Amino acid sequence: MTDDFGPTPITLTTADGLSLEAQWAAPPQARARVVVAHPHPQHGGNMHSLVVSALFTHLVDSGCAVLRFNFRGVGRSEGEHEFGEGEQLDVRAAVDAMAPTGDGRRPLVLAGWSFGADLALTCDAPELAGWFLVAPPLRVLDPSRFKAALDVRPKCLAVPERDQFKPPDQARTTIADWTNAEIRTVGGADHFLVGRTDKLNTLLDAFLAKLSAS
């Protein structure tokens, strides 16, 4: 992977030897580095899904390096869907690919939408500065698999006001014993965030600014 301005197609390799389709972009002097994981593959999720694409475009336009990828069995990625098990290796492969890039002082954030948010919670790679989790259902895997939950690094959950799977009140109950986690409600939005991605971009910008200042 190079630091050329993208988006540029790249290939990731997982610990179990699969090749994953991915895309990378890095503006000069990137202010932060973000990996974005997509929603559920069995419901049409891929790295070009609405929220992933909106975040990817905004991050590049606002001066961040960003990497998005297709989970195993999606698009040109090898393998098949493994119900959140093998996909944990996919997330780690993406983080490992982004970690050595650019200025190590720039925060590296793991983001995800829905299924991708829950899978992001399973990764506690030491290079990460925090997690930005959009509409996490918090039930893709047993909660004991969410390594990030009790990690001291910050977690921002952007939860749609009318989320069909885990609305804000339920999310607050679920994360009551988590460490350094906050919920930000996305007003007027449901789980799919149509017409509300600008609000996500604002929340993500604020989270990145907080990490950069710490």
Question: Which CATH number covers residue 197?
Answer: 3.40.50.1820
Residue-level pLDDT at 2: 41
Strands 8-13 and 108-113: unpaired
Domain-embedded: residue 2: no
Q: How many domains is the chain partitioned into structurally?
A: 1
Domain-embedded: residue 119: yes
Tens digits of pLDDT across the chain (214 residues): 444 566 899 999 999 999 999 999 988 789 999 999 999 999 999 999 999 999 999 999 999 999 999 999 999 999 999 999 999 999 999 999 999 987 667 999 999 999 999 999 999 999 999 999 999 999 999 999 999 999 999 999 999 999 999 999 999 999 999 999 999 999 999 999 999 999 999 999 999 999 998 7
The parent domain of residue 50 ranges over 8-213
Domain-embedded: residue 3: no
Closest CA to 104 of 192, 33, 197: 33
Domain-embedded: residue 66: yes
Please state, as a whole number, how many other Cβ atoms lie within 10 Å of the Cβ of residue 108: 21
Fill in the DSSP letter of residue 70.
Answer: P
Residue-level pLDDT at 3: 45
Domain-embedded: residue 74: yes
Q: Token digits for 4?
A: 């050329």
Residue-level pLDDT at 6: 66
Please name the residue that has the structure tokens 């007027």: 188
Residue-level pLDDT at 105: 76
Residue-level pLDDT at 27: 83
